[in-house]
Amino acid sequence: MYTKPDYQLNWHHKFMCHKLELFSTGIIKNLMVFMPPQHGKSELVSRRLPAYMLGRNPNLKFVGASYSSELSKSFNRDCQRIMKSSEYSEIFRLSDNKDVSKFRYAERADYFEIVGYEGSYRSVGVDGAITGFRADIFSIDDPVKGYKEAMSPTEREHAWNFYNAIVETRCHNKTQKMLTMTRWHEDDLAGKIILADYDRLQQKAYNLKYIDVLIDKDSLSFTELIGEYKMLCDLFPDDILKWDIVIFPAVKEDASNPDDPRKIGEALWEEMHSLERLDNIKLKAPQIFVSLYQQRPAPEEGDIIKAAWFKTFKSTDLPKEVTKDFYSDTGYGKQKSDKSATGCYTLHEGNMYIWDLSVVNLPFPKFITNYKDFITRNGYSYKSECAFEPKATGISCVQQLKVEKLDNGKYINIVEDKPPKDDKVTRAKSITPILAAGRVHLLEGASWIQAFLLECKQFPNGKNDDQVDFLTGVLNRRFGDELTGIRITIIKKKEPET
């Protein structure tokens, strides 16, 4: 680059510059860039691009946002230094034929104006506000600080609220948006935006009869979702709200991206981040490597819970007289809360067989009705146990269902489970001996299996974990003593001999 001659250009930087050129000319309206840390994306997107676009159109209102105001300010200051350089002035002669002394303009760390023009560059953190500023270009670079914040539902919701309450309210019909980040979590800001736009485009395609059915996005892996989203975008080339998405993992895993010229197994930037170094990171922290370096926020092969551990069964594989029991992990029945997951299962010869699984988000009265319908159609009998985890609305459900009757006039055998002592991840890890032994079977051909397995594989980085909560709850309830024995044995094996 002319304004930074020491910049080490790799092939992916050249591709990025091509995309940024299309963005700067308006051919690309909205752009997402997902790349590993320290691979040169911020230098291009948050330092060089603002200077370049303001040079080409000094009347632009450019707004840049990051997880903190300090990071955003640093990008702003760097942009000012670039625009004051002699190299920049040779290309963009913004001050030619202008008497600077006649103009009053601001020049601060978080905001500067282009002398003699209407343009400006404003910086803000995701916890800040920019009331009164119009954005022609709104660029968000790293909206989440790190792992701790990315794993926090509160922080993820805060970033989403910032996008809707701050970013969107500063935009107009011609505003262009850019989001640059590394993917930490499926439900991060990028994930929420993509899912929302996927729903919009899919419904649009369905209404116009371009597609025959609506696909449940919860049944799609991240890679599948991106593929489906890009297909929908291709159906509407003139749609001004769709996003162009650039994804480059640190190590190439497949040939799904035609823009990636690497061979499978090659590092993205070998000179700076060698394959040997990346393999070492993967060895030490596979979960972080998959999300942060591979830009796949949830491992498709399973990290804690593996899909290959589950077996399938047919109804004819079990005796006809087996008892069907039920277990529920409830949410709050609000739009943004966790959903309620209820499963029907049978214990037989030391194995668990799951017949059906219902995941709903209903207000309390409707959930009670739905629950009674679910256990009735799945063969509830006087031998059945109906257990609830005592959290969220679980205790209220137990109290209400103890006085409810089924259509046959019989009361329900409701049981309140013990409250969990550990966090979700610890509980999920505790059940892996049972799962890895192939002792959990799923009803062959059931419609809920795909979404169930996907959620299990993506845990704990997935958007949903209601079915995982059901699984950990019911296994700990029915195999608790056995699992405790396994944990004690493991601990004893780790103790040094005396």
Tell me the torsion sign for CA atoms 92, 95, 97, 103.
positive
CB within 8 Å of 467: residues ≥ 6 apart: 341, 357, 359, 451, 452, 455, 456
Res 63: pLDDT = 96
Q: What is the CB neighbour count within 10 angstroms for residue 490?
A: 10
Provide the token pair at 20. Answer: 């940024």
Task: Report the largest interatomic distance among the alpha carbons of the chain, rounded to a whole angstrom.
Answer: 93
Residue 462 has what DSSP assignment?
S
pLDDT tens for residues 173-215?
Answer: 999 999 999 888 888 999 999 999 999 999 999 999 999 989 8
DSSP per position, 73-111: HHHHHHHHHHHHSHHHHHH--TTTT--GGG----B-SSE
Res 368: pLDDT = 94
Q: Are 144 and 189 in contact (CB under 8 A)?
A: yes
Res 492: pLDDT = 39
pLDDT tens for residues 340-354?
Answer: 999 999 999 999 999
SS3 322: coil
SS3 244: strand
Given the DSSP bridges, would you call strands 440-443 and 414-416 parallel, antiparallel or unpaired? unpaired
Task: Give the mean pLDDT per block of 10 residues along the chain (498 residues).
Answer: 82 96 96 94 94 94 94 93 89 65 66 89 89 91 88 90 94 96 89 94 95 84 86 94 96 92 96 96 86 79 83 95 94 67 95 96 92 96 94 88 93 92 88 93 94 88 88 92 52 39
CATH numbers and ranges of domains, the chain = 11-293 (3.40.50.300), 307-494 (3.30.420.280)
